[in-house]
């Protein structure tokens, strides 16, 4: 039975984003997915959008340097930090922390060394 708790059908939406080189036609994708999912309906609502690297970087730059914050009736341009709550803030945060780890924290002893030996460099 494919019904939900009240006899209805549970509704879930799933979207996939793929590089253009990996995109297949709808029928091939639906056939592959149908082999793994039971009681599912697949619809072809494909909306193809392609952009090059420069366009992505321009959009990110606009997002970072052009973020407006509204406080009451006033609007302010954010000049520092990552716009919180945006769709890319988590990704940007990971990029910033990854860069920080590689450039500034790589010389520090690992947490494993600190926790298990109590002294840096004596593992």
In the structure encoding, which two tokens stand for residue 41, read together?
């309906």
- Helix residue spans in the chain (DSSP H): 26-34, 53-65, 89-103, 111-117
Instruction: Compute the Cα dihedral for 32, 37, 42, 45 and give only its sign.
Output: negative
Residue 25 has pLDDT above 50, yes or no: yes
pLDDT in tens, 81-110: 777 777 788 888 888 888 888 888 777 766
Q: Are 113 and 106 in contact (CB under 8 A)?
A: no
Distance CA(30)–CA(27), nearest Å, equals 5
Q: Tell me the mean pLDDT in the region 2-6.
A: 48
Average pLDDT of the residues of the chain: 76
Overall average pLDDT of the 21-39 stretch: 79
Highest mean pLDDT: which range of 12-21, 40-49, 100-109 = 100-109
pTM for the model stands at 0.40
Output DSSP code: residue 110. P
Cα angle 77-82-84, degrees, rounded to a multiple of 5: 90
């Amino acid at each position: 039975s494919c019904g939900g708790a009240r006899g209805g059908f549970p509704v879930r939406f799933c979207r996939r984003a793929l590089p253009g080189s990996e995109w297949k036609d709808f029928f091939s994708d639906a056939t592959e997915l149908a082999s793994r999912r039971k009681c599912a309906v697949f619809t072809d609502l494909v909306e193809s959008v392609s952009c090059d690297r420069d366009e992505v970087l321009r959009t990110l730059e606009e997002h970072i340097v052009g973020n407006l914050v509204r406080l009451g009736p006033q609007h302010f341009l954010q000049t520092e930090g990552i716009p919180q709550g945006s769709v890319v803030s988590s990704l940007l945060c990971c990029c910033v922390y990854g860069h920080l780890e590689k450039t500034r924290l790589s010389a520090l002893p690992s947490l494993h060394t600190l926790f298990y030996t109590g002294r840096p460099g004596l593992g």
